[in-house]
Structure 1
Amino acid sequence: MYKKTLTTAAAVVFSAALFAQTKPEETEVWEPVPTVVTPGKVNTDAPSDAIILFNGKSLDQWVSVKDPAQPATWKVSGNAFTVDKTGGNIQTKRSFTNYQLHIEWQVPKNITGTGQGRGNSGLFLASTGPGDDGYELQILDNYNNKTYVNGQAGSIYKQTAPLVNANKKPGEWQTYDVIWTAPHFNADGSLLSPARVTVFFNGILVQNNTELHGPTKYIGKASYEKAHGACPIKLQAHGDKSEPLSFRNIWIREL
């Protein structure tokens, strides 16, 4: 009898709670009002609140990784710029934490080589040091080029293979649209929450809120070994002998 009475009382309280809200307005939220952002004419164009990292004219938003006091020396021509393998990697002047990034890249039509030696570069989503330290989204020609799946275009290099192969033919412009959530660390330097990334490759989802195990390592498994804050974004001048890639239309929105 006691149990039945208690159950009945609970049901009465629950019903009262449901009927306490009698107007649809009681669940409407009016503030804070979202900021107005004007989209570009097409989805690849920068919206009104974006920071333009390459406007087709100069690399004034980029510097040398070897010496951040020196400007980037990659060649700008025809609203794009081309990797200079002798000049080394380049990175943004600014550092970022969480962001939305758009970048377009092109493998030369006359590309040669095979495997990892065919149009290799990398987009380091957060560059944590002067070497190749950072979190790499692989750039490579995999239209008709076999390699290990966690090293093909759209992969988080040596960590997570892309969901699908979305490569276009060499000579065609390709796009990455990236949502980057930076890792967070405790006061003692231990990991609080890992980095996560979502990537659309030519408009196709290839990384879906993927958790990263740490910065990229060429040998061994990735791990978080040191704490860091906001970081620049880096583009890689890979040392393979194939023809160099080009980039254009790069913009970012801080989140």
Structure 2
Amino acid sequence: MKGKIILTALLAGGCYMAQAQDQKAKPEDTEVYTPVPPEVKPGKKCGDAPSDAIILFNGSNLDQWVMADDRNTPAKWNVSKGVLTVNKQVGNIETKKSFNNYQLHIEWRVPANITGTGQGRGNSGVFLASIGKGDAGYELQVLDSYNNKTYTNGQAASIYKQYVPLANPTNKPGEWQAYDVIWTAPVFGNDGKLVSPARVTVLFNGVLVQNNVELKGPTQYIGAPGYREAHGPSPIKLQAHGDKSEPLSFRNIWVREL
């Protein structure tokens, strides 16, 4: 009985002290004034680049791009009427600049008369970090997934061969699609070992389809992915896939470094 009385007294005393501290606390105790976020002017409409964005494709030239397999060669895809169209004969292109963490906006469209099925229908990819020639890197899949059956970890907005998208909001062929991406690059230690894996969030036509997923490594077409080689900031790469369907196009590409 004595022990219960002591416990009750301690609890009561603790509550009294907490109440007393709350009474002494002021609202300004939890207010901060630094750091001050930089002012950024948003785009005039949804999808337009904000004032601090780096414009990667403005509809008129490929000044920000080079050939992925020969970075000394300017990008040789086709630009016409504000649209960038894949040239499958010359290969992938990638940005001149390398990026670490970023926000990316990119719009793409497969032709209204697209042919083919499965992976052979409007196939391309946005490599969120290009870490070598060919298709080396971390791929966000681009594909016509409107009434087009294929393996689900290879459809539009999949993290190719790793993560199935949470939804399929693909528009019809001939209509523009939009990806908004938050990319967190992997971190490696001085010994080359992985400290923290890459993470990515993707909105596809305004719908959340990848929710801060943790990547298992760079894209691997055959076999399991894994972090086998350390790397730093990397270019963003667009794929010229070898399927036989009509080439797709891109527009309004911008990035914000985070």
Equivalent residue, structure 1, for 2:52? 49
Q: How does 1:187-198 map to 2 (within 5 A)?
A: 187-198=190-201
Q: Secondary structure at the match of 2:73?
A: coil
Q: Which moved more, 1:125-134 or 1:74-83?
A: 125-134
Indicate whether 1:170 and 2:181 are aligned: no
Tell me how far apart the structure 1 counterparts of residues 185 and 158 of structure 2 sit (CA, whole Å): 18
Equivalent residue, structure 2, for 1:18? 22
Residue number among 225, 247, 250 corresponding to 1:247 in the alignment: 250
Question: For residue 198 of structure 1, what is the amino acid of its counterpart?
Answer: T
Indicate whether 1:7 and 2:33 are aligned: no
Equivalent residue, structure 2, for 1:70? 73
Q: How does 1:35-114 map to 2 (within 5 A)?
A: 35-114=38-117
Q: Which moved more, 1:203-212 or 1:28-37?
A: 28-37
Q: How does 1:87-166 map to 2 (within 5 A)?
A: 87-166=90-169
Tell me how far apart the structure 1 counterparts of residues 134 and 10 of structure 2 sit (CA, whole Å): 67
Indicate whether 1:214 and 2:208 are aligned: no
Q: Cα deviation per residue 1:168-207 (whole Å; 9 max; x = unaligned)?
A: 0111111000010111112222211111111110111111
Residue 25 of structure 1: CA displacement? 2.5
Equivalent residue, structure 1, for 2:235? 232
Residue 254 of structure 1: CA displacement? 0.3
TM-align CA RMSD: 1.2
* Unaligned segments of structure 2, at least 5 residues: none
Q: Which moved more, 1:87-96 or 1:30-39?
A: 30-39
Larger Rg: 2
Question: For residue 60 of structure 1, what is the amino acid of its counterpart?
Answer: D
Residue number among 187, 205, 225 corresponding to 1:202 in the alignment: 205
Residue 59 of structure 1: CA displacement? 0.4
Aligned length: 254
Q: Cα deviation per residue 1:208-233 (whole Å; 9 max; x = unaligned)?
A: 11111110000011111111110000
Q: Cα deviation per residue 1:74-112 (whole Å; 9 max; x = unaligned)?
A: 010010111001110000000000000000001011111
* Unaligned segments of structure 1, at least 5 residues: none
Equivalent residue, structure 1, for 2:182? 179
Residue 145 of structure 1: CA displacement? 0.3
Tell me how far apart the structure 2 counterparts of residues 226 and 90 of structure 1 sit (CA, whole Å): 22
Q: Secondary structure at the match of 1:19?
A: helix
Question: For residue 231 of structure 1, what is the amino acid of its counterpart?
Answer: S
Q: Secondary structure at the match of 1:68?
A: strand
Residue 10 of structure 1: CA displacement? 3.0
Q: TM-score, normalised by structure 2?
A: 0.95
Residue 4 of structure 1: CA displacement? 4.1
Q: TM-score, normalised by structure 1?
A: 0.96
Tell me how far apart the structure 2 counterparts of residues 239 and 185 of structure 1 sit (CA, whole Å): 33
Question: For residue 116 of structure 1, what is the amino acid of its counterpart?
Answer: Q
